[in-house]
Structure 1
Amino acid sequence: MLPLPVLSVLLLAYQSSASSVLQHDNHFDIMIFTQHWPYTTCIDWENRSRQNSCSRILQTAWSVHGLWPTQFGKIAPNFCNTTWKFDYDSVKEIRPELDIYWPDYEMRGHPNSLWTHEWEKHGTCAAQLPALSSEEKYFQTGIELSKQIRLTEWLKEKNIVPGPAKYTKSEVYNAVLEKTKFRPHIDCEYIDGVQFIKEIKVCFSKNLTLVHCDNIVSTSSYGESTLTNSRGSCSEDKPFLYPAKMNPAYLSLLTSQHATIAFIVFGCGLLTMISLMVAVMVKTNRNVRLGYESL
């Protein structure tokens, strides 16, 4: 049996080691200000499950997804103070502006789900900065940045508007770069092989001045984290849709493509039945992912 002094030293070393493992590194290097396109967000959300639905989209405009303190090369820090829960009373005075600039579209069975998630996961980390040290300051800052980063207006100036036309990542990237003078991050969502523009990220320093969105990590559709360049996840050479409504023409296009395949393989007599079966499979056999809960 080891002498008592030796056991005491070993116990202290173990406790110190365990403490260091459990201790979170809550520092961050950059603030990622993310705006998302509501129609893509809701098309994606509703197509993950037939139980999912979105609230009515009241205005066709880019809106705030979140303001995320971030370490270079990591998706961190997160949930920096698990005891600091979202308190609606802290932001009720700015609710009218939140509904305009930071609306919560994805209906998740409880009110204010987006704001709750963004505050508890990201806001409690941003609160390390005096300018973001309360719920009201955090959300008000997001509102003010949205007024500054006028994506809807900037894209329209370059004739990039929602509708049936397709656009390239370079067109959007250059439109934002021209206005901010700093490299943005353009992200897309792939739904049944069709690419939709979903998010545009613009980055800020800790004193909320614009910086390049370099060395930030992107989360793939399957929840995998990958280090990306500043241009983002949209394909460099494949145009994407910028939808103007919830039921874009691509859905009927997919159905007709599946119907054609069914006709060739099984013949005209089984066309109707196979088309219906494929339509159901298109809707239900998707990888179910967590929406903004992964962000």
Structure 2
Amino acid sequence: MGKWGSSMLIKLSLMLSLSVVALANNGDFHLFYFVQQWLGSYCDQHGERCCFPDSGKPAAEFSIYGLWPYYNDGSFPYNCGGGNFNEALLKPMQDNLRKEWPSFTCPQIGRKFWVHEWNKHGTCSKSVLGEVAYFKAALALKNRVNILQALTRAGIRPNNQMYPLKAVKKAIARATGFHPWVVCNSNSQGVSQIWQVSMCVDRTGTRLINCPFVPKGQGDCGSQIKFPSY
């Protein structure tokens, strides 16, 4: 095959790959993963630092990390476009978002984090939930799924102690009626610690459901995990 033929083959392969991605991103999603994170673990992980808002360090609590649509094979669409972020629409719920959906990633605080989440994930569910409905759904789920309360009732507290992963999952399942997916990160000493807790939600963004699959690319936990203070 000549140089021109090889070049054309490469271009055709690239076009085909992009077409497959486009079709995947335009497909119908199956469910949502509602993800909360423990900010103590985020701020304590190796190589990260936290930037707190001007109002100061928030109270210790799990906060919203995302509401992510998934396909039925465990993959997920992203950056689907066609849904320009309008900050004015969120003004009535802005105080609640600052409390329940903060970002301590420097310098991605507040609005920048919401823009990112809407553009990357929300736009892929806009056929079901528009911008306002998307953020309202996340806030309503946060109100229903109180991870810290569930763990505290089971005697699992953010006190820098190690707890069995099974006990953490059992406590959350007992409180919510559904099994969670727990994601861990590592602190600067390499210790596995609870970071994210995900629950599956139906396509309307309102009803918790059993998770039919494990999301791809999620971090593993040790059998014993640390619950760091914050």
TM band (smaller chain): 0.7 to 0.9
- Counterpart check, 1:197 vs 2:194: yes
1:253-292 equivalences under 5 Å are none
Q: Distance in 1 between matches of 2:107 and 2:142?
A: 24
Q: Which residue of the partner structure matches residue 157 of structure 2?
A: 161
- Counterpart check, 1:138 vs 2:125: no
Give TM-score, length-normalised by structure 2: 0.82
Contact 2:102 2:109 in 1 (8 A): no
Q: Which residue of the partner structure matches residue 243 of structure 1?
A: 228
Q: Distance in 1 between matches of 2:141 and 2:20?
A: 36
- Counterpart check, 1:88 vs 2:99: no
Structure 1 residues 170 and 88 mapped into 2: Cα distance closer, same or farther (>3 Å)? same
Using the aligned pairs only, state the percent identity.
25
1:70-109 equivalences under 5 Å are 70-81=70-81, 83-108=82-107
Contact 2:34 2:67 in 1 (8 A): yes
Structure 1 or 2: more helix by fraction: 1
Q: Matched residue of 1:32: which SS?
A: strand
Q: Matched residue of 1:23: which SS?
A: helix
Q: Distance in 1 between matches of 2:103 and 2:213?
A: 29
Structure 1 residues without counterparts, runs of 5 or longer: 1-15, 222-232, 246-295
Q: Which residue of the partner structure matches residue 11 of structure 1?
A: none
What residue identity is the alignment partner of 2:106?
A: M
Q: Matched residue of 1:92: which SS?
A: helix
- Size of the aligned set, in residue pairs, is 210
Structure 1 residues 18 and 171 mapped into 2: Cα distance closer, same or farther (>3 Å)? closer
Q: Which residue of the partner structure matches residue 61 of structure 1?
A: 61
Structure 2 residues without counterparts, runs of 5 or longer: 1-14
Q: Matched residue of 2:161: which SS?
A: strand
Q: Root-mean-square deviation (CA), in Å? A: 2.4
Q: Matched residue of 1:167: which SS?
A: strand
- Counterpart check, 1:217 vs 2:218: no
Between the two structures, name the one with larger relative contact order (CA 8 Å, sep ≥ 6).
2
